[in-house]
């Protein structure tokens, strides 16, 4: 199987405080998405999410309840990409929703944004943004995006 058929497996976190959700964004692309990253061989989704938050923010976190799964196909640099996102509730105790979160890595940034206004940012996948409030109260959601 070649690289063109590769599917990324990603753990993503939903951290909501005072009605605001923590978002990550690419500094060049401006696309906002849930924080997290690739699951390495030998770790589960929760472990991967906690490791990624440590690497990207320098902070300890707790990945909690599984909220849902989102299969996402999209175009990037004129190539079709595919990822499976395992979405978990995320607690990052040191974060304050009234202060700008800091990133350890220079290519990304973090921000707080009102959960009810995700359509106002360039959030990907957009369909996932529309599901998050429901998934927080009724975990176990499933979504296909970009097919």
CA distance 78 to 59: 35
Q: Identify any residues that bridge with 25 across adjacent strands, giving them in sequence order.
A: 32, 109
Q: What are the mean pLDDT values of the chain's consecutive 10-residue runs (147 residues total)?
A: 73 98 94 97 98 98 98 85 95 97 96 95 92 96 88
Strands 79-91 and 62-76: antiparallel
The answer to whether 83 and 7 have CB atoms below 8 angstroms apart is yes
d(CA 129, CA 62): 21
Report which DSSP code applies to 39.
P
| Domains in the chain: boundaries | 3-138
Fold of 3-138: Nucleoside Triphosphate Pyrophosphohydrolase (3.90.79)
Q: What is the pTM of this model?
A: 0.92
């Amino acid at each position: 199987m070649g690289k063109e058929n590769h599917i990324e497996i990603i753990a993503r976190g939903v951290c909501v405080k005072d009605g605001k959700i923590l978002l990550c964004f690419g500094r060049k692309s401006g696309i906002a998405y849930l924080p997290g990253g690739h699951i390495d061989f030998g770790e589960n989704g929760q472990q991967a999410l906690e490791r990624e938050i440590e690497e990207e923010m320098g902070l300890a976190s707790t990945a909690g309840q599984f909220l849902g799964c989102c299969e996402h196909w999209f175009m990037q640099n004129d190539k079709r990409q595919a990822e499976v996102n395992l979405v978990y509730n995320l607690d990052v105790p040191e974060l304050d929703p009234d202060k700008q979160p800091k990133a350890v890595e220079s290519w990304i940034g973090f921000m707080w944004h009102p959960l009810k206004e995700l359509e106002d940012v360039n959030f990907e996948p957009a369909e996932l943004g529309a599901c998050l409030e429901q998934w927080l109260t009724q975990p176990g959601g499933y979504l296909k995006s970009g097919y």
